[in-house]
Structure 1
Amino acid sequence: MSPRTARRIRAIGIWCLTPSVAVAAAATFLLDAPASAAPAGRASATLATGDSRSVSEPSVPSTVCATVSAQLTISGRTFSSSQESNPPDTSRIQQKLDSCAGSSGTVAVKLVASGSNSAFLSGPLTVHAGEVLLIDSGATLYGSRNPANYQVSGKPTCGTLATSEGGCKPLIQVSGANAGIEGVQNSSGHQGTIDGRGDTGILGSSTTWWQLADQAKSQSKDQQNPRLIEADSSNDFTMYHVNLVDSPNFHVVYKGGNGFTAWGVRIKTPADARNTDGIDPSGATNVTIADSFIQDGDDGIAIKGGSAASNMTIRNDAFWGTHGISIGSETNGGVKNVLFANDTLNGVDSSGITSSSDNGIRIKSSASNGGVVTQVTYSNICLSGMKAPIVLDTHYSSGSGSSIPSFTGIVINGVLATSSSSSATSVLNGYNSSHPLGVTLENVHLDVSKSTAEYAAVQTYNSTLTPTGTGVTVTATSGSGSVPSCSFPSYPAL
């Protein structure tokens, strides 16, 4: 049985046995359930329904506009010095992407292996509206190690430290509607791959992209590292059956669009690779991230609300070594109607590296970039090896300012935490007495139930977590159902 099938069976079984989770589970599997009022006894929270679209598993485009065959072999994930200086496949791939732009319908530019040649080496690429960059199983697109290839004019030098950010273009920039980055999955389950090579030396230096990120932290500066994929204002963007490996910085940023589906995406980067977020929907609406495997050195998911963010579903996903399934820290534009359902999180990555910020459920913001976060539901979440199982923190990183964060209508229904750190501590912090945290804890079982809390109105049913602190009230509420039973999949072969 595959890990994905096991998770689906577990989730469906829980749904059948847990009536109080029925609305959230229906939203998870059907994605068309209306918002539901809370049952009697619960605060006036409305359960999240997530993505307003009816989302099913995508498929690769039926029309291939152009095929690009690999001309490179690789040993040790590096190429010759001349190839590294001037990546030979940038123009070959971009030419096909440009020539296919404007085609009728959605078409693919497909990268394929050719005999013993399976590698492509490229600098930044632009994917246009109505086209999909499709990577065949057995083929790998490697990102350039030459920082000059990524340089943004007028910005700090890519590949260096600076007091501001923005010096590097992403490896792949998506511009326009109905575009995609997709892979072909073969009968053995292997998928096409994009490798950012964040663990290899920046050209002309022995320092890797990840070491540069560590230096930035120690020197209180910004590392100029390229993201792997960024889609800006690209409605109906799709990622499907593609491997994303060792990004120098964030793996995927989806910014300001309406309609984003990530399905069967496998992100595999070590837990100690700093600032390598998995998938970050930012100021977007109607997002589904499903059936994906995410391992990285920062947030597994980071929903950012610098501008309004709403209608998102994160379901049937598995995470390793991340900083959590997160909202924030930017919430000043507001975040509303977000559903997390049937997700598993392990605090240790697949190589045994423990996350440096080992959170499970996480909402974070501060007065420097705070706003309203409401109608957020967590349903059937399984946690293993956590240092902080639940973090709802309006004082993140001691940020100051006048943008006051307000977290209300948060419903956590069905959480099991196992193998937690002996010092594991959950955090439930409202901002002040005028902006208290509003949260319902239902069917929550943490093996270590220590917490810190302040200014919080907490309703509980069948919960081992009962916070105390300044301005904290805890009220028993009616409920039904039970704590989920959990199994934790292994990371699949790429």
Structure 2
Amino acid sequence: MRFQRRWVVALVLSSALALSGCSLVGADGRGASEGSGHVTDHPSPPTTTCETVTANLNMPDGMASADEEATPPDTDRLQSALDRCAQSGDSVVAIHLTGAGSDQDFLSGPLTLRQGEVLMVDPGVVLYASLNPSDYEAAGGGTCGTVSGDGKGCRAFIEVRAPNTGIQSEIVPGAARGRIDGRGGEHILGENLSWWDLAEQARSQNLPNVPRLIDANAADRFSLADVTLANAAGYHFYYKNGDDLSVWGVRIDTPGSARNTDGIDLDGVQNAAVVDSWISAGDDGIAVKATSKPSRGIIVRGNHLFGTHGISIGAVTTAGVNHVLVTDNTISGRDAFGNRSDASIGIRIKSAAQFGGKVQAITYRNTCIDAVSHPIVIDPDYLRKTGDHPPVFSDIRVEGLKATNSPANATSQLKGLDRNRPLTLRISDTTVDAAAVQTRDALIRAHNVTFDGKPLASLGGLVAEGADAQPHLPSCSFPAFPAG
């Protein structure tokens, strides 16, 4: 039998309504709001190796000697290899980090990838980041490792400013993937606090000056594949103003309590795919932003998130975000270590008038959510930041979403900025087992949508619901974060 869908439109001007691996199967068909980016094949390592650098350290507990911590012994030899291997044109080579016997570890200060280089962290090898704030001092100096100023006092651990680059490992049965570890929970040199402690201090004071783990800017044709990123002091991977990004099979292994440790951030990115990755982090799991250039043509597919603030658009959307497809993902409110995150979020669009812009043609499809505090959040008043850049959310689609085991106080939001700039949302085949959903200034077209088993209805006294006998919900299971 073919079901005929009935859509009824409601304009919600100001109301709050409290309604009294993964197997995913959802409704077929493509919508106008789907991402136009392409999903590339799994990235392959370069066929040519320029240099192989062998580990001289064994750091089973993630710490070296006092002298080695004060002056990381591998910085110069790693950067020298990277400098020697710089390419031109379309040439791409590998720089391998490999182990020897019990020596499987490197300890380094900040590094810079050059054009045409893919850093290969071999299976079982760990590249540890320095704990010495002076190693990361940005131009001007003096603030890295402090809570002060604009929070830009540190360089990243790995910086990329050139095209045809990447960071990868390889999958070998029985071996741990190559790992880059920021040691965000360890005490920074000379202090009785960690990078993460600085972030906690910054809740009430200025901004923390901590290093990102990987920061790539204008690095077209970048690949991040099969590597584990762990314990970043700040963001794990920030990719800005680039085209043709492939993130595939990455693991981000960080507690959900580590504040401001976003997993994967895309800012001003065109033609990007984030696929089959496992992400446990203390802020947004995956975020799409647009600070100075638009983000568009992005696919986020088959990922598993743990204890994060979800799969987000925003907060900065000034240059515009459009044509993003988020499909076949699972989102759990527990991090990789089994700890429940009270701030966990499922799918999210956030911005504010200080840094807003047009967000349109966004599709979330076949999304499985479990034990999350805020299953769906669409919020144009993020942090209540005022300004001259109002956010406008239009042509937003949620097609097939199931949220289970939500905590008793779980709340969703479906909000537009005002009645002149309402949220336009088409939501179908969605069930959330928590009753509370706040709505405001929203033009909603709903079909087969329930919160706590009751239809999404009576919004401002208007009916906004069509229904089939059998909704087309995703079939959900939630795999554990993998070991190794």
TM-score, normalization by structure 2: 0.91
Q: Which residue number in structure 2 is paired with residue 141 of structure 1?
A: 127
Among 26, 29, 36, the residue aligned to 1:22:
29
Residue 434 of structure 1 deviates from its aligned partner by 0.3
Amino acid at match of 1:490: A
Conservation of the 8 A alpha-carbon contact between 1:136 and 1:185: no
Q: Secondary structure at the match of 1:93?
A: helix
Amino acid at match of 1:277: D
Conservation of the 8 A alpha-carbon contact between 2:458 and 2:464: no
Amino acid at match of 2:400: G
Q: Does 1:382 align with 2:368?
A: yes
Residue 460 of structure 1 deviates from its aligned partner by 0.8
The 5 A counterparts of 1:50-129 are 50-51=36-37, 53-102=38-87, 105-129=91-115
Q: Which residue number in structure 1 is paired with residue 348 of structure 2?
A: 362
In 1: Cα distance, 2:378 partner to 2:442 partner: 10
Q: Which residue number in structure 1 is paired with residue 167 of structure 2?
A: 181
Q: Secondary structure at the match of 2:347?
A: strand
Q: Secondary structure at the match of 2:200?
A: helix
In 2: Cα distance, 1:336 partner to 1:180 partner: 26
Conservation of the 8 A alpha-carbon contact between 2:311 and 2:348: yes
Conservation of the 8 A alpha-carbon contact between 2:456 and 2:464: no
Residue 106 of structure 1 deviates from its aligned partner by 0.9
Residue 156 of structure 1 deviates from its aligned partner by 5.0
Residue 476 of structure 1 deviates from its aligned partner by 3.7
Q: Which residue number in structure 1 is paired with residue 478 of structure 2?
A: 488
In 2: Cα distance, 1:54 partner to 1:220 partner: 42
Q: 1:192/1:91 Cα in 2 relative to 1: closer, same or farther (>3 Å)?
A: same
Q: Which residue number in structure 1 is paired with residue 464 of structure 2?
A: 475
1:375-397 per-residue CA deviation (whole Å, 9 max, x = no partner) reads: 00011000000111000001111
Residue 371 of structure 1 deviates from its aligned partner by 0.8
Amino acid at match of 2:316: E
* Gaps in structure 2 of 5+ consecutive residues: 1-20
The 5 A counterparts of 1:397-476 are 397-465=383-451, 475-476=464-465
In 2: Cα distance, 1:457 partner to 1:84 partner: 57
In 1: Cα distance, 2:139 partner to 2:399 partner: 48
Q: 1:240/1:168 Cα in 2 relative to 1: closer, same or farther (>3 Å)?
A: same
Higher helix share: 1
Q: Which residue number in structure 1 is paired with residue 4 of structure 2?
A: none
**Percent of paired sites with the same residue:** 39
In 1: Cα distance, 2:114 partner to 2:309 partner: 32
Higher relative contact order (CA 8 A, sep 6+): 2
Q: 1:165/1:427 Cα in 2 relative to 1: closer, same or farther (>3 Å)?
A: same
Q: Secondary structure at the match of 1:149?
A: helix
Residue 354 of structure 1 deviates from its aligned partner by 2.0
Conservation of the 8 A alpha-carbon contact between 1:322 and 1:347: yes
Amino acid at match of 1:475: A
In 2: Cα distance, 1:71 partner to 1:177 partner: 30
Q: Secondary structure at the match of 2:443?
A: strand
* Gaps in structure 1 of 5+ consecutive residues: 1-5, 24-35, 37-45
Conservation of the 8 A alpha-carbon contact between 2:457 and 2:464: no
Among 326, 332, 336, the residue aligned to 1:346:
332
Q: Which residue number in structure 2 is paired with residue 150 of structure 1?
A: 136
In 2: Cα distance, 1:128 partner to 1:113 partner: 23
Conservation of the 8 A alpha-carbon contact between 2:216 and 2:238: yes
1:263-286 per-residue CA deviation (whole Å, 9 max, x = no partner) reads: 010001000000000000001111
Conservation of the 8 A alpha-carbon contact between 1:384 and 1:417: yes
The 5 A counterparts of 1:300-319 are 300-307=285-292, 308-319=294-305
The 5 A counterparts of 1:39-54 are 46-51=32-37, 53-54=38-39
Q: 1:259/1:471 Cα in 2 relative to 1: closer, same or farther (>3 Å)?
A: farther
- How many residues in Structure 1 have an aligned counterpart in Structure 2? 458
CA RMSD of aligned residues (A): 1.7
Q: Which residue number in structure 1 is paired with residue 271 of structure 2?
A: 286
Residue 47 of structure 1 deviates from its aligned partner by 2.8
Conservation of the 8 A alpha-carbon contact between 2:39 and 2:272: no
Among 296, 303, 328, the residue aligned to 2:281:
296
